Structure 1
Amino acid sequence: MTGAPPEGTVEIPPELGGTPTLREVTRHGERLLRDAGVDTPDLDARLLTGAALGMTRQHMLIHATARLNQPQVARVLGFIARRVAREPVSRILGRREFWSLDFTLSAATLDPRPDSETVVEEALAGVADKRAPLSVLDLGTGTGCLLLAVLSELPAAMGLGVDQSTEAVATATANARRLGLGPRARFAVGDWMTGLEDRFDIVMSNPPYIPDAEITTLSPEVTGFDPRAALAGGADGLDAYRAITAGLGGVLKPGGRIIFEVGFGQSHDVAALLEAAGLSQIGFRKDLAGIERVVFGHLGA
């Protein structure tokens, strides 16, 4: 889902014929995005123009009056057209920054959101010795962002990421290799914890938690481009939590911790599932918007 449409498939308006300046093309893109109802048309136009031309923001500022040829204009407008169709910028670029790390996306992976960094924060907050040889399990790993972010902060830790999608596992494996974390991270295709024999100090998951009936109400950036399997959480959004909590006793070490990302208004329902599964010291962590985004618990020693 990366790259622009082939040259010649994008109609170039008369005002951008010839050799328009970089500033003119960027502002035209901004107008198109604003008319399409995109929330941040100026930012998105700048990011997409820079990406299409291989320019940094500083380069764009310095060369704002530089003239672009028609293939360059077509490439920029190709990126803009995809955003007008509500494809997220991260999907167009094929990458997303998470925890200050660069992750490649694929059609089979959720686009990591900043809210999910709350999971990483809680995972690290519960580690007294950052150099301890801990074991970490990430269920529904997608791009591998949660697992790899945690491993980047715990130099002696090892981790396993599990996902039902073969393509997602391949994407996560490539991300680990590119980030230099390949020797400490492995990824496997699986159905949550089925077949796992190891036990872990930390189990994390950002499972699908959108009630099925609400998926169509989400933004087109989500419904059109995130995989449904990473969104649909059943009738009440809690199916994945039930499946995972039922098997926690088989994968958590005594004293180990489970850390869930949850949707708006789900924190206490998920906490009740953890309590019913025999976990203790259950708590919550809010994201930057003040929403209870994380629920965690401990397995008694």
Structure 2
Amino acid sequence: MENNALNDGVYVMSEVKSIREAFAEASSFLSRSGCNEPQRSAQLLLEHVLGVSGAAYYMALADPFPAAVKEAFEAGVTRRGAGEPVQYIIGEQEFYGRPFEVTPDVLIPRPETELLVEAILRYGAELWPDGVVTPGEAALDSAGGAGDVRAARPLAAVDIGAGSGAISVTLAAEAPAWRVCAGDISPAALAVAERNALRNGTAVDFRLGDLLEPFAGMETDILVSNPPYIPGEDIAGLQREVRDHEPRTALDGGADGLDPYRRMMEQLTLLPAPPRLIGFELGFGQAEQVAALLAAAGHWTEIITINDLAGIPRHVLGITR
């Protein structure tokens, strides 16, 4: 089954008889095209055009390949062979067990970011077990009676650089007592995030603007961000799937990749008080520097570094208990 075209980059199916044969042929084409994870890509594209997934897909492997989806499958495999991420082709990526729409306007959610969400949920629940922020004891007035009493309010969590909404929508779904807000500088990204919030049945307050600016004056208990952190000069060396297809504004973190972290530290003065919990995702080799930025700010009593599944320091958190 090697007669599918590769010389001009166009995938043309042979007269395959089964879905399993289509999978094998497409996997071979994608492998020869230099794609990473060719078998996984072929399976996702097949599941997409066939409208099945999981066990249903494996049960269908022996079935005849339906002629009605042949053109769609060929087009998808051709696009993937040219380096386009499979998530943009099928328009979806799962995150924390939920489906998220993805377009070239947003970064594709990564599994390691789920660890950041887990950490924020865990420490958030420790700091605010019921998801409510209670002011200190009311001061007594001169007559010995109760002074001005401010009402308790829902915990406020802010996600900076919303992208697809993976972080904010997941926080809102997993901690429904929280008030979750998210900002992004890209109107197109916010549109995708809003659709994902609706799709997953969550209420998120989305705001357009640069980093913390849309949240000036807002009481913020948790600040979380997966900002652009790739050093500008390193982008040319990234995998073609990332370099040529994902939005550069979601990748480029300036000369050393740390510009967004520095700017967020500077913009904390826009808030009435620093958040008691802050969490950042970061790139390879940046954990020590980002932890130092948080330590220099002096707002948090604990600074924690969390490794990703490959053992690479991937997240830095600041906590005040």
Tell me, yes or no, if the aligned pair for 1:98 and 1:117 is still in contact at 8 Å.
yes
What does residue 131 of structure 1 align with? 130
Q: Counterparts of 1:1-301 in structure 2 under 5 Å?
A: 12-13=12-13, 15-16=14-15, 20-68=17-65, 70-127=67-124, 128=126, 129-132=128-131, 133-182=154-203, 185-195=204-214, 196-251=216-271, 253=273, 256-280=276-300, 281-298=302-319
Moved more, 282-291 or 35-44: 35-44
CA distance in 2, matches of 1:106, 1:228: 13
Instruction: Choose between structure 1 and 2 for higher RCO, CA contacts under 8 A separated by at least 6 residues.
Output: 1
State the AA in 2 paired with 1:204. V
Instruction: Give the direction of change, closer, same or farther, for the CA distance of 1:62–1:197 in structure 2 (3 Å limit).
Output: same
Shift of 1:71: 4.2
C-alpha distance after superposition, 1:8-46 (max 9, x if no partner): xx6635x32xx7322222211111011122232222212
Structure 1 contact 143–169 (Cα < 8 Å) conserved: yes
CA distance in 1, matches of 2:274, 2:182: 20
Q: Offset of 1:299 from its aligned partner? A: 5.9
Q: Mark the CA change 1:144 to 1:62 in structure 2 (over 3 Å): closer, same or farther.
A: closer
Separation in 2 of the partners of 1:41 and 1:138?
33
C-alpha distance in structure 1 between counterparts of 2:70 and 2:100, whole Å: 28
Aligned to 2:149: none
Q: Is the 8 A contact 1:29 1:45 kept in 2?
A: yes
In structure 2, runs of 5+ residues without a counterpart are: 1-9, 132-153
Cα gap change, 1:61 to 1:206, in 2 (>3 Å): closer
Q: Give TM-score, length-normalised by structure 1.
A: 0.88
Q: What does the per-residue CA deviation read over 1:27-75, in whole Å, with 9 as the maximum and x for residues that have no partner?
A: 1111101112223222221221121122334344334343335442222
Distance 1:24 1:233, change over 3 A: same
Distance 2:96 2:83 in 1: 25
Shift in alpha-carbon separation, 1:173–1:255, aligned structure 2, 3 A: closer
Q: Compared with structure 1, are the counterparts of its residues 199 and 46 closer, same or farther at alpha carbon in structure 2 (3 Å cutoff)?
A: same
CA distance in 1, matches of 2:97, 2:272: 28
Code of the aligned partner of 1:199: E
Whole-angstrom distance in 1 between the partners of 2:24 and 2:104: 30
Percentage of identical aligned residues: 36
**Residues 69-123 of structure 1, C-alpha deviations (whole Å, 9 max, x = no match):** 5442222111111111121121111111111111111221111101111211221
CA distance in 1: counterparts of 2:53 and 2:222, whole angstroms: 39
Alignment partner, residue 143 of structure 2? none
Asked if the contact 2:11–2:77 (Cα under 8 Å) also holds between the matched residues in 1, the reply is no
**Using a 3 Å threshold, how does the CA distance of structure 1 residues 69 and 287 change in structure 2: closer, same or farther?**
closer
Separation in structure 2 between the aligned mates of residue 59 and residue 186 of structure 1, nearest angstrom: 37
Aligned partner letter, 1:106: T
Relative to the length of structure 2, the TM-score reads 0.83
Matched residue SS, 1:264: coil
Provide the C-alpha distance between the structure 1 equivalents of 2:23 and 2:317, rounded to a whole number of angstroms.
45
Supply the distance in 2 between the matched residues of 1:207 and 1:11 (Cα, whole angstroms): 36
**Higher deviation after alignment, 228-237 or 126-135:** 126-135
Residues 246-277 of structure 1: CA deviation (Å, up to 9, x unaligned) = 12243374561111111111011111111222
Task: Tell me, in whole angstroms, the C-alpha distance in 2 between the residues paired with 1:211 and 1:255.
Answer: 27
Separation of aligned partners in 2, 1:200 and 1:72:
49
